[in-house]
A and B are shown apart, each in its own frame.
Chain A
């Protein structure tokens, strides 16, 4: 049984097919990549998994439990956490309070300690007392990850966490993702930074125009002709 099982998920906006019947699995202890050109339907799929978008058809299961009709906050209680492509920090709270809200919602016992550890872990301890709305994008992304981790998730959905990060930060993010996987978390990563994706992912799904066109190890994906075609266009 996979940690996350997406089966036949389809999303239609009026006449537009955003996601057209996607199957996808995420295993505990692995980093799974989800890549694809802009407009492929990655964020829509994320919204379906986290409960913000009702699918036209298909189902989402977390640890074998069907959550397709559950509200986002109930899915969070089942161990699902996500970050957002366009930042969704609580901009008038401090960095510490952003993470604390999440820890409190998870009803953890030693909240202060957890918050300090998480800020340390993603490397933003020195920003703890700053107002989140004033952060540069890179730091804000890291705070979002810390906040998602504060709910004690089993499955972490990351929507382009490396955009806005510099090279050093991006490398550290890669290390962090491997650590999380080693701790037993399942990570689903949407990312455009190919070197990061190829570096950290155990398995990669490629989405194009709403359909999964390939899945496999980074090595397999890099040499898949369909993927090359989707990214680079038809060879002339």
Chain B
């Protein structure tokens, strides 16, 4: 009994921490509609900051706490709201979620950079470390009592804040109807900013309390948020008392599991499957159950109009793209070193995984955070099934994993948006913790996936596998294009654009979603099945899925080109880290940094580039000019006037920075035309005349210089020629309230009202 009581108290104290995190999650979701996946990461960063102040720089605890919780956390929240989240209104749920994924990646990158995990550091002590009180004969540490106190205080403060203060009333008003609040003179942006600051403080408090219990490690602190998701979902993302109750249940379950798993009668395996990953899976299981217990999401008309748009891909350009991709890979693969070949191969594997998101997320608008999990299942199936990697085995693998995908989606399909995304995350964590660590799957940490056995072709070198991967990507990409052009493709888009209209026209939303999940799982399975090498479970971990989802969305998840772009960018990031060790830390935060800018360009980067080139079609004079420039650069190279490096850099520069700007320059006013042309001409001369082989000493630095040149001159010229009038984004209802009237609008109003003679 004594022991039971002790574990109850341990459980409730853990639950108190979950409650504090979860309430922060609820506060931001209700006021800005953004489910912050990076919430746990905020707490992690706060815990590290507190450690830095308190234990490394030895500030007194109250001062360190004050600086962390009341200065840095709110500041961080305000900055996040103002510069990252505010631009996201009117974007799809997929983009909004991806931005928080980006923030998540960004913060982990920052923490890894500043506080590398290999360095030994001062211990993170509990509050009043070592001090205990005895209540009814049970010893409770001061730290636990403080934790309880904090949770109760948070509950009281939130209650008073929401119901007794002006800001609280404003917050609840924004939840009910944002537009109406704005029309009545409320300031939703300011409310949201306050909510983000408050939320960051709550995350920070929980992070510090938890770090005292569990020590300072990035992963457990970040994954703390999974517990918070579960509690917040139990509170239906709006009910704070229910959220607190959910958090208590989670804490207790964890503590009791800990207590009972030590008993002799407790099983260590069920039907031959080990359950060592069980404890860590409890919150995820609770999350899954809580999600499934949610009522069917209702069909509603009048959802947000989505900004991003992609055109139907034409067969001619798609086939041309596939053939050129394979040709380029065949051509350059001969020149690459072994390690670079492997890195590029990795990029193509990522690209195939990103491609699996195109039909599901890009076309059908269903978010999945588990693409790599299906790749992992594909790798396991390929290595376990007989046939030693022949084509029939591959087909069997794809079919099996596609079926698993549909099966997993079946219970989750009733959900939409954020709830669906969370259930895929829960699935990914469960598979990672309960399936990938079984002796039947990844036996000793590594399994060998056989190389695909194609008749008459022997593939045994990394180069061969790279070419195979590029061919696989091209074929799968063409398959995805075929889907987009088919009946099913139109249905997927219809599902994304208006579920209400699709259903009332006779479409079974369930069947369409299942098809999308099955196709996506099948494509991802290929990425695993074609690994052709030893693979480890860490490669398919849930946390590895997040950067892929992120970069797929950044590249443009609506198009095959976007998937390629995203995958190679992720692969290229590790190339960058390996060739330029000084930039290693930058590459940690690069994906996140790129991702948080999504709000400005929700259709993805690939689409933006494609747009620039698309406008060139049918402008023969400009095309001829572009081609002539390319030929001149080639002649300079052929005549040994410039080196191969100068040729490479200047032709890429010509293609990306000059050609893409031609139309813009033609349409610009006269003076701007001259300035922009001169500016670009300077860029071309710089690219051609630098002695790349001697002045710059490594491949990596040359590539970085190339990127800098393109950014400096290409983007610069684009800015110079941009003259499109800024689109008025504000709803007409709020003009004059949140944005000032323009002169034109004032004139119009005066005319209509007859106040001008």
Contacts and interface: CB of A to CB of B under 8 A. Distances in A.
A100 B494 CA distance: 11
A48 interface: no
A104 interface: yes
Interface string A100-115: 1110111000000000
Category for how many chain B residues contact A = 20 to 34
A151 B500 contact: no
A82 B500 CA distance: 10
Nearest to B495: A90
B493 A90 contact: yes
Nearest to A104: B487
Contacts of A73: 503-509
| Residue of A72, A102, A148, A151 contacting most chain B CB atoms (<10 Å) | A72
Given A84-B301, A133-B309, A92 B505 contact: no
Interface residues of A, number: 36
Interface string B555-581: 000000000000000000000000000
Nearest to A79: B506
Contacts of B310: 92
B509 A88 contact: no
A97 B507 CA distance: 15
A133 B503 contact: no
Interface string B308-329: 0110100000000000000000
A105 B493 contact: no
B491 interface: yes
Interface in A50-96: 50-53, 71-73, 75-77, 80-82, 84-86, 88-94
Nearest to B300: A52
Given A52-B301, A91-B305, A102 B497 contact: no
Contact of B309 (A105, A106, A131, A147): A131
Nearest to A72: B503
Chain A binding surface, main DSSP class: mixed
Contacts of B298: 52-53
Contacts of B508: 71, 73
B299 interface: yes
B504 A101 contact: no
A47 B502 CA distance: 14
B481 to A, nearest CB: 15
| Residue of B500, B502, B503, B504 contacting most chain A CB atoms (<10 Å) | B504
A97 B494 CA distance: 10
A121 to B, nearest CB: 17
B177 to A, nearest CB: 14
Contacts of B498: 88-91
Given A86-B301, A101-B491, A133-B305, A91 B505 contact: no
A93 B505 CA distance: 15
| Residue of A47, A82, A90 contacting most chain B CB atoms (<10 Å) | A90
A195 B124 CA distance: 77
Contact of B490 (A72, A76, A85, A100): A100
A157 B491 CA distance: 22
30 contacts: A51-B503, A51-B504, A52-B298, A71-B503, A72-B299, A73-B505, A73-B507, A73-B508, A77-B506, A82-B504, A84-B301, A84-B500, A86-B302, A90-B493, A90-B494, A90-B498, A91-B306, A92-B310, A92-B496, A94-B312, A101-B490, A101-B494, A101-B507, A104-B487, A105-B491, A105-B507, A131-B309, A147-B501, A148-B505, A151-B505
Interface of A: 47, 50-53, 71-73, 75-77, 80-82, 84-86, 88-94, 97, 100-102, 104-106, 131, 133, 147-148, 151
